[in-house]
A and B are shown apart, each in its own frame.
Chain A
Amino acid sequence: MTKIATREAYGQALAELGEEIKDIVVLDADLSGSTKTSVFAKKFPQRFFNMGIAEQDLMATAAGFATCGKIPFASTFAVFATGRAFEQIRNSICYPSLNVKIAATHAGLTVGEDGATHQSIEDLALMRSLPNMTVISPADGVETKKAIRAAALHEGPVYLRLGRMAVETIFDEDYEFEIGKGKILREGTDVAIIATGIMVGEALKAAEVLEKDGINAMVVNIHTIKPIDEDIILKAAECGAIVTAEEHTIFGGLGSAVAEVLAEKKPTPMKRIGVKDTFGQSGKPDELLKLYNLTAEDIVNAAKELKR
């Protein structure tokens, strides 16, 4: 299996799309080498704008571009995009529903050695709270490329959550991506694992382990956190037990979104795999995933507890 970071796939997708959609402009805040917007910058220097280390200006400038019919992609690290510039996103992008795409990289604990200041574990919660915002969290390089294209063609603000670490490719090239539509990656009847982002790969591994232990697990990929695919969640709930998995705080992200649907429409026993109300720390990405209980093994344990 090939490994590629979703930020790498973003850089490639953007450069490809730039050819096709001339209204795309790209803005970055001095991190173009890391966010991979540098690929676009090299190819289309006139349509690339480095805003310096100024995330608030980055977002509101992108909003201004959008009022003139441009399709701005604004990129920086997720913690700065959604934290530092939250109110710009709220008032200058989402409230007027401007066509800005916020493609934020280095989301989650897998930023690794840079530590807690740079590990965004609350971005999904923040972005999900905003009216008019679409929130997408792709699982691998293939899905990222499809998501970037879908975001560019979608009218309105979109938040795309991308990662630093290389992840295994799950999908093949003819995989069909539609905003707001989750995907059942593995049918199952005993428990459903609903995952997003890099946790989708872990969910698939967990299902294989559970299979050996006689538990037949469904795996659902929720790439669009908002609008959430209620139908697929209700279908998953037919298993009678649900485990959600995300590289994000358990407050306000995928787990919360799923719980909201279930609480109102089909109360179902569930467990949330995610960061448990704490900040991260420096370390190697896979060590951190273990330390913060974000592995296939943790999903397996949660599923078994539910089935006990």
Chain B
Amino acid sequence: MGVSSQTLEKLQSKARTIRRHIVEMVAEAGSGHPGGSLSSADIVTALYFHVMNVDPQNPKWPERDRFVLSKGHAAPVLYAALAERGFFSKEELLKLRKTGSMLQGHPDMKVTPGLDMTTGSLGQGLSAANGMALAGKLDNKDYRVYVLMGDGEIQEGQIWEAAMTAAHYKLDNLTAFVDYNGLQIDGPVTKVMSPESIQEKFKAFGWNVIDIDGHDMVQILEAIEEAKTVKGKPTVIVAKTVKGKGVPFMENQVDWHGKAPTLEQAKEALETL
């Protein structure tokens, strides 16, 4: 497929901007989840700045593509993308997690423009995305539904109930991502409760599976395009990523799952981004 080098550069630069926002907002909030936000920054950038058909002036436009952040703790990456896309002012980002803010610790669709679903309790987002995809099919709408899950999150049983549903109802208007960064709060996913083989599990559940490097923008875009051409089954893009990607001292460090950098650490991080 033809993604111009100009487009690629634009997206890579946007992903950097989003990573900077993540570091700044989590540092300012004094709590939050930088690791899994940074690992999914390239995927979320691709969706909001190249793939998804959305209208920041009309966030509830019925024809829009939908995005469900099933791993809701990565809210900072989504808030940064929505602000950069123009759904609300970038000034809001520094109010993350503060009393009265439109940016709750985990996504609340009632208060944040552009959010398609309230999430945060792991394991529920794929089901909600299925509901949106089923509604789209029922009404013969062309919109697509995207959902991002964590690799730890798929330990939740409900994910596999929903995986069955998506295949059973042939939801080819649904594309799921697994942010396969390999780490969860208590350690490596393979040590805590191995979800492997993620690919074989989804295949066995009747899904089309695409493996990519979740930080390679070309691979991300190609996989999303391929998913659009697959008929009769949902697609999951298993994206190998690095937790904390882009901030050297956070990369692959489980400690940075749910810890905010100090202002000094944030300064150091921003210098590398």
What residues of chain A have their CB less than 8 Å away from a CB belonging to chain B? Answer: 25, 46-47, 49, 51-52, 54, 56-57, 59-70, 72, 87-88, 91-92, 95-97
Offer 20 A-B interface pairs, CB within 8 angstroms, sorted by A.
Answer: A47-B138, A49-B134, A49-B169, A51-B161, A56-B158, A56-B161, A57-B127, A57-B162, A61-B128, A62-B131, A63-B131, A64-B117, A64-B130, A64-B131, A64-B133, A68-B132, A68-B136, A70-B135, A95-B118, A96-B117
Q: In the complex the two chains form, is A66's CB within 8 Å of B121's CB?
A: no
- With A87-B121, A96-B110, A97-B110 known as contacts, the answer to whether A60 contacts B127 (CB < 8 A) is yes
B residues 124-150 near A (Cβ < 8 Å) are 124-125, 127-136, 138-139
Main secondary structure of the interface of B (DSSP, over half): helix
The complex places the Cα of A51 from the Cα of B163 at a distance, in Å, of 11
A25 to chain B, nearest CB (A): 7
Q: In the complex the two chains form, is B120's CB within 8 Å of A63's CB?
A: no
A181 to chain B, nearest CB (A): 27
Q: In the complex the two chains form, is B132's CB within 8 Å of A64's CB?
A: yes
Which of B127, B133, B134, B168 has the most C-beta atoms of chain A within 10 angstroms of its own C-beta?
A: B127
A125 to chain B, nearest CB (A): 21
The complex places the Cα of A124 from the Cα of B132 at a distance, in Å, of 29
Contact of A92 among B118, B133, B157, B168 (CB under 8 A): B118
What residues of chain B have their CB less than 8 Å away from a CB belonging to chain A? Answer: 62, 66, 68, 108-110, 116-118, 120-121, 123-125, 127-136, 138-139, 157-158, 161-162, 164-165, 168-169
Contact of B108 among A51, A59, A66, A96 (CB under 8 A): A96
* CB neighbours of A95 from chain B (8 A): 108, 118
Contact of B161 among A49, A57, A70, A87 (CB under 8 A): A57
- With A54-B164, A56-B158, A96-B117 known as contacts, the answer to whether A65 contacts B135 (CB < 8 A) is yes
Contact of B127 among A25, A46, A64, A72 (CB under 8 A): A64
Q: In the complex the two chains form, is B138's CB within 8 Å of A46's CB?
A: yes
- With A57-B165, A91-B118, A96-B117 known as contacts, the answer to whether A25 contacts B138 (CB < 8 A) is yes
Q: In the complex the two chains form, is B124's CB within 8 Å of A91's CB?
A: yes
Q: Which residue of B lies closest to A66 (CB)?
A: B131
B54 to chain A, nearest CB (A): 14
Q: In the complex the two chains form, is A60's CB within 8 Å of B116's CB?
A: no
The complex places the Cα of A65 from the Cα of B138 at a distance, in Å, of 10
B258 to chain A, nearest CB (A): 18
Contact of A57 among B109, B118, B158 (CB under 8 A): B158
- With A64-B128, A96-B108 known as contacts, the answer to whether A52 contacts B138 (CB < 8 A) is no
The 10 closest A-B pairs by CB, nearest first: A64-B131, A60-B127, A68-B135, A57-B161, A64-B128, A54-B161, A96-B118, A65-B131, A61-B131, A56-B158
* CB neighbours of B121 from chain A (8 A): 87, 91-92
- With A91-B121, A92-B124, A97-B110 known as contacts, the answer to whether A64 contacts B134 (CB < 8 A) is yes
B262 to chain A, nearest CB (A): 31
The complex places the Cα of A72 from the Cα of B133 at a distance, in Å, of 14
Q: Which residue of B lies closest to A49 (CB)?
A: B134
Q: Which residue of A lies closest to B158 (CB)?
A: A56
The complex places the Cα of A63 from the Cα of B121 at a distance, in Å, of 14
The complex places the Cα of A59 from the Cα of B109 at a distance, in Å, of 17
Q: Which residue of B lies closest to A91 (CB)?
A: B121
Q: In the complex the two chains form, is B165's CB within 8 Å of A61's CB?
A: yes
Q: In the complex the two chains form, is A68's CB within 8 Å of B131's CB?
A: yes
Could you list 8 further interchain pairs (A-B, Cβ under 8 angstroms) beyond the known A54-B165, A64-B134?
Answer: A47-B138, A49-B169, A57-B162, A61-B162, A64-B130, A88-B158, A92-B117, A92-B118
* CB neighbours of A47 from chain B (8 A): 138
